[in-house]
């Protein structure tokens, strides 16, 4: 499948990886629909893509809502007439351990509440499910060739302090296998599904953090730096054009290792 | 430049090199982009209907984004009281009368 002439829908397209993916697609001749919660992010990215000479529509939407999901797909089809690429980048973190103990008594003083669990599951798992499900529906009903991309994370291996995030991301990593298996059973041959599992990436979330903590993170990265969002965009672009990549989740981490040197 | 009002928002449609940019001013006075570089090759006579269709998709009339707290644990004995499914695609909540669709007398 060629990027040029394709139409891409990108959730979380207002910053970070989603923004980089959108601009990469535009540079390579695709039309894009930017979906984001924040209108000011949409406005900035739409203006920058306009200045690049691209074709873009921006939709403020919540990916956990079925109504909003239907809304942004309808908008993309109204604007461009089809959908070929879906990248589910919208994601959040609410880190914390499951239990906190009192240092003196060893008793539990605090538990991870649903206020930290549920929004992460809703956005990172249910939101991805709705985006992939309705993207597939549009492609099947429209008869359009397509690629569905779920964004997982290297922390799908299980990161202490991210029980919520890792649980969602390991499910996101598994999703392409089940979806493609279903496509095969249903005779849907022209739509692929993959996952992308980035390592520590140079998005605002990380570049704005404590620099000493960032140095500690980078000590475990073989590449010696954060992964650039554009490098992730290029991997997704390659996956669009290489049709043998299917039903799998690709890691792009720069060689992130555990402290004892075993690659994560 | 074309402009029109829909759902209490003012939309502007501008042409640049045969393509169309759409922006809007929301009821709170803030400006927002809807899209840019759109509808290349579409005859100008069809632009307004294409723009209106797109705008209606992005800003559906009467759907309120924030609904009741359906997760609130209201209980009467063993009965849990929950609100309507505000995320259902067919759920429509009329927050207020729109100047585009004023309440009909009688």
pLDDT recorded at residue B74 = 61
Question: Which residues 6+ apart lie within 8 Å of B52 measured at CB?
Answer: B4, B6
Q: Calculate mean pLDDT across residues A212-229.
A: 91
What local confidence, expressed as pLDDT, does residue B65 receive? 44
User: Considering the domain boundaries, does residue B101 fall inside one?
Assistant: no
Residue A218 resides in a domain: no
Catalytic residue among A24, A72, A73, A165: A165
Mean pLDDT of A162-173: 97
Over residues A75-104, the mean pLDDT reads 96
Better pLDDT: B71 or A67: A67
Within a domain: A180: yes
User: Does the pTM exceed 0.90?
Assistant: no
- B62 pLDDT exceeds 90? no
The number of folded domains in chain B is 1
Confirm if A206 and A214 have CB atoms less than 8 A apart.
yes
CA of residue A231 relative to chain centroid, distance? 14
* Domain around A62: 7-202+227-252
Q: Which residue in A46, A64, A71 is closest to B57 by CB distance?
A: A71
A79 lies in some domain: yes
Q: Is residue A135 part of a domain?
A: yes
pLDDT at B66: 46
Q: Looking at beta carbons, which residues of chain A come within 8 Å of B30?
A: 39
Contact A43 B32 (CB under 8 A): yes
Residue B97 within any structural domain of the chain: no
Average pLDDT, chain A: 95
Whether the predicted pLDDT of B71 surpasses 70? no
Tally of CA atoms within 13 A in the half-sphere of B103 that contains its CB: 6
Token readout for B15 is 């042409």
Tell me the pLDDT band of B64, cut-offs 50, 70 and 90: very low
Rounded to a whole number of angstroms, the distance between the first and last alpha carbons of chain A is 31
In a domain, A113, yes or no: yes
In a domain, A259, yes or no: no
Looking at the domain assignment, is residue B85 inside a domain? no
What residues of chain A lie within 8 A of the CB of B53, using their CB?
78
In a domain, A220, yes or no: no
The pLDDT value recorded for residue A213 is 80
**CA distances to A32, A55, A84, A238, B93 from A4, in Å:** 11, 12, 11, 13, 40
pLDDT of B7 reads 82
Q: Is the residue at B7 inside a domain?
A: yes
Residue A141 lies in a domain: yes
Domain containing residue B9? 2-64
ipTM of the complex as predicted: 0.87
Residue B96 has pLDDT above 60, yes or no: no
A165 is catalytic: yes
Q: Domain of A51: which CATH number?
A: 3.40.50.720
**Please, which pLDDT band fits residue A17 given cuts at 50, 70 and 90?**
very high
Residue B76 lies in a domain: no
Q: How many domains does chain A have?
A: 1
What is the per-residue pLDDT for B9? 87
DSSP, collapsed to helix, strand or coil, labels residue A107 as coil
Q: Tens of pLDDT along A178-197? A: 999 999 999 999 999 999 99
């Amino acid at each position: 499948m060629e990027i040029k002439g394709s139409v891409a829908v990108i959730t979380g397209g207002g910053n970070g990886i989603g923004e980089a993916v959108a601009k990469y697609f535009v540079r390579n001749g695709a039309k894009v629909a930017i979906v984001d919660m924040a209108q000011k992010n949409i406005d900035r990215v739409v203006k920058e893509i306009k200045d690049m000479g691209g074709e873009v529509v921006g939709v403020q939407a919540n990916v956990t809502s079925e109504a909003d999901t239907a809304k942004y797909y309808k908008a993309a089809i109204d604007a461009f007439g089809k959908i070929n690429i879906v990248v589910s980048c919208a994601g959040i973190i609410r880190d914390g351990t499951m239990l906190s103990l009192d240092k003196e008594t060893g008793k539990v003083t605090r538990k991870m509440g649903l206020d930290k669990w549920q929004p992460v599951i809703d956005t990172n798992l249910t939101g991805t499910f709705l985006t992939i499900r309705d993207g597939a529906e549009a492609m099947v009903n429209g008869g359009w060739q397509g690629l569905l991309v779920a964004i997982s994370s290297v922390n799908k291996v299980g990161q202490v302090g991210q029980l919520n995030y890792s649980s969602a991301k390991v499910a996101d990593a598994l999703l392409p296998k089940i979806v493609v298996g279903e496509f095969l059973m249903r005779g849907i041959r022209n739509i692929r599904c993959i996952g992308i599992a980035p390592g520590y990436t140079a998005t605002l979330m990380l570049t704005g953090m404590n620099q000493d903590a960032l140095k500690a993170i980078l000590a475990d990265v073989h590449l010696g730096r954060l992964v650039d969002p554009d490098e992730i965009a290029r991997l997704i672009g390659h996956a669009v054009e290489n049709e043998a990549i299917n039903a799998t989740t690709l890691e792009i981490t720069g060689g992130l290792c555990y402290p004892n040197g075993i690659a994560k | 430049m074309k402009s029109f009002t829909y759902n209490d928002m003012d939309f502007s449609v501008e042409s640049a090199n045969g393509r169309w940019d759409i922006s809007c001013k929301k009821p709170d006075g803030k400006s927002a982009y809807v899209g840019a570089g759109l509808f290349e090759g579409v005859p100008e006579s069809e632009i307004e209907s294409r723009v209106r269709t797109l705008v209606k998709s992005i800003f559906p009339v009467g759907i309120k984004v924030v609904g009741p707290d359906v997760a609130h644990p209201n209980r009467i004995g063993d009965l849990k009281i929950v609100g309507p499914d505000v995320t259902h695609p067919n759920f429509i909540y009329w927050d207020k009368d729109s100047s585009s669709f004023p309440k009909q007398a009688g």
